[in-house]
A and B are shown apart, each in its own frame.
Chain A
Amino acid sequence: MSGPVEGTDHFDLLWVYLQQEPLLWLTATLAAYAIGHALHRATGGSPLVNSVAVAIALLVAVLAVSGTSYATYFDGAQFVHFLLGPATVLLAVPLYRNFSRVRRLLVPMLAALLAGSVTAVVSAVAVAGVLGGSRETLLSLAPKSATTPIAMGIAEEIGGLASLTATLVIITGIIGAMIVTPLLNALRVTDWAARGFAVGVASHGIGAARAFQVNQLAGTFAGIAMALNALLTALLVPLLVGWI
């Protein structure tokens, strides 16, 4: 052995290489999700073991331990993030397949959308406000049920912190995906369209991802709900924000 110094040099060079290339953090993102997915399956598909939550917890731990900045991580992970756009366009496929059912249920859909969208904004701000949340936190929280890019845009417009909003949006998605099945079973809402639509309004794409795992029709309605609620939240939040 020529001593630990040389070994450390090699390791440093390797680490420098890995930090500069997107490969490492792209691989880590997929690996963390694969572990989350495996755990989800191992528990018999329990909604309480959420693949996204497991993956995020693992990656946060790895970044913290290795002293890697979020910006460095995102350089690699952005390739996965980018696919959100094409995936949104893909929602046209289940939407087309179920189009006649969607058209028939237009009135219940729009009534539920309006009620759900107002509830999402008002209840989040009211609960956090009563418990002493700061103004900046409340403004960042208001659009939390809309999908990430839209919620961030709204937060910016009303004086919240866009990057905090992005985090709150993801947490909202994970909570919704975890509680939707037991909650709607308890409320005896048996219809797949109603169940999917509800989780899409409350929890955008992560809710839709959960709905697609359970039932194709539920996933379709969750996708529609996500798109409609993104639009309505963008209109509602600036109107309601005068009261915060």
Chain B
Amino acid sequence: MVHAILALLVCQLLGEIIVRAAGIPIPGPVLGTLLMLGALAALREVPEELNAVAGVLLSHLSLLFVPAGVGVILHVARIRAEWLPLLAGLFLSTALTIAVTALVFFRVMRKMGLQEAEPEP
């Protein structure tokens, strides 16, 4: 477990350092993901420890957004004043984005003759 956690932190840390030192406009953890991907490609397998950590953390990924979400308490006044544009904007835009993205993906994939991953959702 220790090795897997160490590897994660090292990848993130290197990502943050490289992004800042080179002035690359991408987030540190995203570069860290690419570094980890490179490491896995070099190893040619996912170590069992890392697999276990991934299973735990990725299945409860949404927990990690709770502290930032509670920040809604700082904006109660604005949300009350502008609830209609905010809620309508968020809701319609999110629905439209999901629909457009999925349909473009699906249509282009079919047009190129790429088979579906699995038949039913």
Residues of chain A having any CB pair with chain B under 8 Å: 29-30, 32-33, 50-52, 55-56, 59-60, 63-64, 70, 73-74, 77-78, 80-81, 83-97, 99, 101, 104-105, 107-109, 111-113, 115-116, 119-120, 123-125, 127-129, 131-134, 137, 141, 144-145, 147-150, 163-164, 166-177, 179-181, 183-185, 187, 189-195, 197-199, 201-203, 205-206, 208-210, 212-215, 217, 219, 225, 227, 230-231, 234
With A89-B29, A198-B102 given, name 4 new contacts (CB 8 A): A95-B33, A209-B62, A212-B61, A231-B26
Interface centre among B9, B29, B95 (most CB of A within 10 A): B29
* Chain A residue with the shortest CB-CB distance to B70: A59
* Chain B residue with the shortest CB-CB distance to A201: B101
Set of chain B residues within 8 Å of A181, measured between Cβ atoms: 121
Are B102 and A119 in touch, CB under 8 angstroms? no
Are A163 and B85 in touch, CB under 8 angstroms? no
Q: A163-B71, A179-B94, A191-B117 are in contact. Are A88 and B101 (CB under 8 A)?
A: no
Are A128 and B86 in touch, CB under 8 angstroms? yes
Are A92 and B33 in touch, CB under 8 angstroms? yes
Are A60 and B70 in touch, CB under 8 angstroms? yes
Taking a contact as CB atoms closer than 8 A, the residue among B37, B51, B88 that contacts A95 in the complex is B37
Set of chain A residues within 8 Å of B46, measured between Cβ atoms: 93, 96-97
Are A187 and B99 in touch, CB under 8 angstroms? yes
Are A180 and B98 in touch, CB under 8 angstroms? yes
> What separation, in Å, do the CA atoms of A30 and B27 have in the docked complex?
27
Interface set, chain B 1-38, CB cutoff 8 A to A: 5, 8-9, 11-12, 15, 25-30, 32-37
Total contacts A-B at CB 8 Å: 337
Are A127 and B64 in touch, CB under 8 angstroms? no
> What separation, in Å, do the CA atoms of A97 and B51 have in the docked complex?
11
Q: A191-B116, A212-B59 are in contact. Are A183 and B99 (CB under 8 A)?
A: yes
Taking a contact as CB atoms closer than 8 A, the residue among B12, B71, B91 that contacts A86 in the complex is B12
* Chain A residue with the shortest CB-CB distance to B107: A108
Taking a contact as CB atoms closer than 8 A, the residue among B28, B88, B109 that contacts A191 in the complex is B109
Q: B66-110 CB contact bits vs A (8 Å, 1 = yes)?
A: 111111111100100010111011111111111111111110110
Min CB gap A58→B, angstroms? 10
Are A116 and B72 in touch, CB under 8 angstroms? no
Are B101 and A127 in touch, CB under 8 angstroms? no
Set of chain B residues within 8 Å of A172, measured between Cβ atoms: 90, 93-94
> What separation, in Å, do the CA atoms of A127 and B63 have in the docked complex?
30
Taking a contact as CB atoms closer than 8 A, the residue among B40, B91, B105 that contacts A93 in the complex is B40
* Chain B residue with the shortest CB-CB distance to A113: B101
What are 26 A-B contacts defined by CB distance under 8 Å?
A33-B63, A60-B70, A70-B71, A70-B73, A74-B67, A80-B66, A88-B12, A89-B29, A89-B32, A91-B33, A93-B40, A104-B114, A108-B109, A124-B93, A127-B92, A131-B89, A167-B68, A170-B65, A190-B118, A197-B102, A201-B97, A201-B101, A202-B97, A205-B61, A206-B62, A215-B118
* Chain A residue with the shortest CB-CB distance to B9: A86
Are A137 and B93 in touch, CB under 8 angstroms? no
Are B85 and A137 in touch, CB under 8 angstroms? yes
Taking a contact as CB atoms closer than 8 A, the residue among A73, A94, A111, A137 that contacts B70 in the complex is A73
